[in-house]
Amino acid sequence: MSLKVGDLAPVFTLKNTSNESVSLSDFKGKKNVVILFFPAVGSSVCEKELCSTRDGMKDYENLDAQVLAISVDGPFAQKLWTDKNQFNFPVLSDFNKEVSPAYGSFYDVWLPGKWDLKGVSKRSAFVVDKNGLIQYAEVLEVAGNEPNYAAIQDTLKKIS
C-alpha cells in the first residue's frame, strides 16, 4: 500500500530505546512529525542519515517538528547504536513489522542474492502535520539513497 500526500497517517505505538511507548497520536494537535524509516542499525548510510538528522535537529525544532526514526531492529541493538551516536530524537523498534508495511515502507526481501534479509524497512521519509495528514511522502527503492532533506524542510516550512 502506497501512502500519498493528503492521506491520513496510520497511527502507531512503538517502543523507544528506553522501553517507553511512543505514539504518533502523542503529537496530534501539538507538533508536525517527520518519520524516517531506515533499513538497519549500524549500516553506513543509515548512520550517515541519522547523524545528519541529529546534527540538524535545531532546524527541525525551529519548524515545530518532532523526528521519529523507525526500523525493524530490536530495541536493544537500537539502544547501543543510539547511545554510541547520541541521537537526540526517538529511535523506535518496529520489531513486529506492523508499522513499516502500513506505510508502504517494507522490503519483503532486502538485498536479494547478497544478504536475502526478509522483512526490512525501506528507507523513507514522511511528514505528518498536526492534524495527522501526510504532507510529504518519499519511499526509496534503493537503500543507498537518502531522503530529500530540502524537500522535507520545505514541506515543514509550508505547514508550520
Q: Residue 48 has what DSSP assignment?
A: H
Compute the distance between CA of residue 160 and CA of residue 158 in angstroms, rounded to an integer.
6
Residues in the chain, how many?
Answer: 160
| Amino acid type, 90 | P
Instruction: Point out the residues that are catalytic.
Output: 46
Distances (CA, A) of 77 to 72, 84, 88, 89: 10, 11, 17, 16
Helix-then-strand count for the chain, H and E = 5, 9
Cell numbers that stand for 107 in this block: 522490503
Cite the DSSP H helix spans in the chain.
44-55, 57-62, 75-85, 99-102, 149-159
